[in-house]
Structure 1
Amino acid sequence: MEASVSVNGSQATISLSGDFTFEGHRAFKEASQQILGRPEIATLVIDFDQVDYMDSAALGMLLLLRERLAHRPIVLANTRGTVRAVLDVANFGRLFDLS
């Protein structure tokens, strides 16, 4: 998996591509580290447009990121297919904004 970060004003976006699994934890951590130290970022969008599969390790990474960002909202964008099904089964719609 690859992860890239872009910032537009107070919104940051992490764009993911490939399968979001345990093997991608290093790329995801490096991308999220770029956001954590920047208090001017009010909202984080994680773009799943290029992701077709995610596993339980990915769910754990999202939960850890949510905990570290504390009060800042996280939007999980472009979730569909298997990814959306995994997020729905895990009831992540109660913790994140899903689109």
Structure 2
Amino acid sequence: MSIESEVSQDGKTLTITIRGRFDFGSHQTFRDTYEHFYKKPEVYVVDLKDTTYMDSSALGMLLLLRDYAGGERAQVQVINSNNDVRKILAISNFDKLFDIS
């Protein structure tokens, strides 16, 4: 598991890339990727292209990110999920909370 973050040149978008398993063991590292910026980005992008597994604690972490980013007003995008991860997101109705593509 590895989690990396990258801020866009204009500082408005934070992209968080998750590789491998996205589970409870990722909790603190995931939070660290978005909580330690001097200015909150306007858009958060979670790239799951290389995510092989996601459990219920990962869903909870996405909800914590959404709350941190502004709740219902937050712009959080979940991109590049594989079929298995997309099924988990769909079953959990996360498509109603996040922009999933």
TM-score, normalization by structure 2: 0.89
Q: How does 1:46-85 map to 2 (within 5 A)?
A: 46-70=46-70, 71-85=73-87
**Contact 1:52 1:81 (8 Å CA) reproduced:** no
Q: How does 1:78-97 map to 2 (within 5 A)?
A: 78-97=80-99
Q: Distance in 2 between matches of 1:27 and 1:87?
A: 21
Q: Distance in 1 between matches of 2:86 and 2:36?
A: 26
Q: Distance in 1 between matches of 2:59 and 2:68?
A: 14
Find out whether 1:32 has 2:29 as its counterpart. no
Deviation of the 1:34 alpha carbon: 3.2
Q: Distance in 1 between matches of 2:94 and 2:45?
A: 15
Q: Distance in 1 between matches of 2:63 and 2:97?
A: 9
More strand by share: 2
Count of equivalent residues: 97
Q: Is the partner of 2:53 in helix, strand or coil?
A: coil
Q: Distance in 2 between matches of 1:33 and 1:4?
A: 13
Gaps of 5+ in 1: none
**Considering only aligned residues, what root-mean-square deviation do their CA atoms show, in Å?**
1.2
TM-score, normalization by structure 1: 0.91
- One-letter identity of the residue aligned with 1:64: L
Q: Is the partner of 1:32 in helix, strand or coil?
A: helix
Gaps of 5+ in 2: none
Q: Distance in 1 between matches of 2:39 and 2:20?
A: 26
Q: Distance in 1 between matches of 2:55 and 2:86?
A: 12
